[in-house]
Amino acid sequence: MSYPLVWVNDLTFRYRDRAQPAIQDITFEAHAGELLLIAGASGCGKTTLLRCLNGLIPRSYKGELKGEIRLDGKPIAPLPLSRISQIVGTVLQDPERQILGTRVRNEVAFGLENLGLPREEMLQRIDEALCYLGIRHLRDRETFYLSGGEKQKVALAGVLAMRPKILLLDEPLASLDPASAQETLRIVRQMVDEGMCVLMVEHRVEDVLKARPDRVMLLEEGRIRYLGDVAGLYEVVNYREIKLPALEILKRARHDPPLPVLRVLPSVRSGANNDRAPLVRFERVSFGYETKPDVLREVSFEIHRGDVIAILGANGAGKTTLVKQAIGLLKPTSGRVLVNGVDTRQLSVAEIARTLGYVFQSPSHMLFAPTVYEELAFGPRNLEHPPDQIEKEVREALEIVNLSGKEKEPPLALSFGQQKRVSIAAILSMRSRILIMDEPTAGQDYRNYMEFMDAIVQLPNIEAILFITHDLDLAITYANRIVVMSEGRLVADGAPQEVLGDAERLHQWRLVPTSLLRLNLEMLPASGKFLRAEALAHLDSPGVREG
């Protein structure tokens, strides 16, 4: 075998303001034509490892660094970032932090301009990268108006245009719809087969398995716990920490005690919503930007007490634009949105916030305070909650998202997954009656998001929950109602088993059946409703079916 493209020996790094190292004693190598999946819980050191490999540590992130790294046979320590970027390309976890250009073509050209390439070669590389990813149609679009998934693809195009030998992908599937995620994995496998070395950090292990990773690295508290093939991973991993295929979870969960049955939201009873006014009503809502006039097209639906609604759909289908109408950040071009019976055009964003709390897709759009505590206390203070109540609200919100003890830390110094949980906690602390979350599981490991979702759906003050997600299993597990958006229109609205039971329609909506969906459809006659795999394993246990 040829020399490794990535060679790491005894690597340890501690951030300047942290007492403990983020990664410790990391030793491994990766070769051309290899896909290495890096998995592990949020905050275990995955992103820190990538920052060491792309040179951001110690050049941008300061601290104590020990050990040695070689890229393409060259020691990384003496190389400038400009030289490192020609060897290794990185797609960040949050595309908002990577995109600088106002238009897609300018963004993809950014790195090439810094290399001083001739204009003709730059244009050729731009078109090649966009066509390779199937996004040539975005070439002249303004980046501001792209969806999160589209931005992710544009960020990848900018990296591929540089033609690096090594590609680092940090949660590349987090913002992509299921069909786009499959396409991305196919492209990644193709790049690997063509000789590129790809290191992919990803929580969606089940999805990445479709790209046939050559090896898996499992990090735990900054150390390598496992490094080997996929079959060996199954032997060491905890299925409640790393999400595995549904049949694997089913097999293991049968030997463990049943999970406690969750209490559903108070008003979810047969016929309970029929005689009550909706909390939010969309009446033939249409909306468009100057460059894209038909983002929403005559959307009508209602949110009632007890609803747990999952909004599904392809990237650019209008999901985020839809919920921004409800919270007053955008106003309909035609039609109207009523919150508690009042047109949002007559309400300020602050007034709406007393009823609806909104968690943005990107934490960087929300976080600004010097400490986590101040971040969480900001909303309740603006809503004029009493000081002793604010203390209680902040403490309980941190417990829900498993961040107790982080009160004094700067939010933006945390990992992306932890930042996402801070943004969720910031809204929970406001005690809004309706909680709206945009991609709540982005950057989250399986244990964390299951725990905070379990807690959120049982909060007594929340009357309804709406979440946008590309994670079909999240919708299956928690939603009692599925809404599907496609090309600006609401094309489906109903119970999960009704909306997700037609494979042909799922394909049209760019939704890909998961192992958990297939298992639920198979077991539906016995279960009567969709359940998580752990519950399906104990279907005969008392209360599972009724819960």
Assign 130 a pLDDT band (cuts: 50, 70, 90): very high
Of 236, 253, 270, the residue at which a domain comes to its end is 253
Please compute the mean of the pLDDT values over residues 12-26 and round it to a whole number: 93
- How many structural domains comprise the chain? 2
CB atoms within 10 A of CB 244: 23
Is 179 domain-assigned? yes
Is 299 domain-assigned? no
Is residue 262 over pLDDT 90?
no
Q: What single letter denotes the amino acid at residue 433?
A: R
Is residue 89 over pLDDT 60?
yes
Is 296 domain-assigned? no
Q: Is 0.85 surpassed by the pTM of this model?
A: no
Answer yes or no: are the C-beta atoms of 149 and 362 closer than 8 Å: no
Alpha-carbon distance of 474 to 477, in angstroms, equals 5
**Max CA pair span of the chain:** 71
**DSSP readout, 210-261?**
GG--SEEEEEETTEEEEEE-HHHHHHH--TTTS---HHHHHHHHTTSPPPPP
Q: What single letter denotes the amino acid at residue 150?
A: E
Answer yes or no: are the C-beta atoms of 420 and 427 closer than 8 Å: no
- Which residues form the domain of 42? 6-253
Is residue 267 over pLDDT 60?
no
Q: What is the pLDDT of residues 359-376, one digit of tens each?
A: 988 887 888 899 999 999
Alpha-carbon distance of 275 to 248, in angstroms, equals 43
Is 546 domain-assigned? yes
Is 83 domain-assigned? yes
Of 253, 286, 307, the residue at which a domain comes to its end is 253
The domain spanning residue 221 has which CATH number? Answer: 3.40.50.300
Is 442 domain-assigned? no
Answer yes or no: are the C-beta atoms of 466 and 442 closer than 8 Å: no
Is 490 domain-assigned? no
**pLDDT in the model for residue 68:** 97
Of 226, 253, 280, the residue at which a domain comes to its end is 253
Is 389 domain-assigned? no
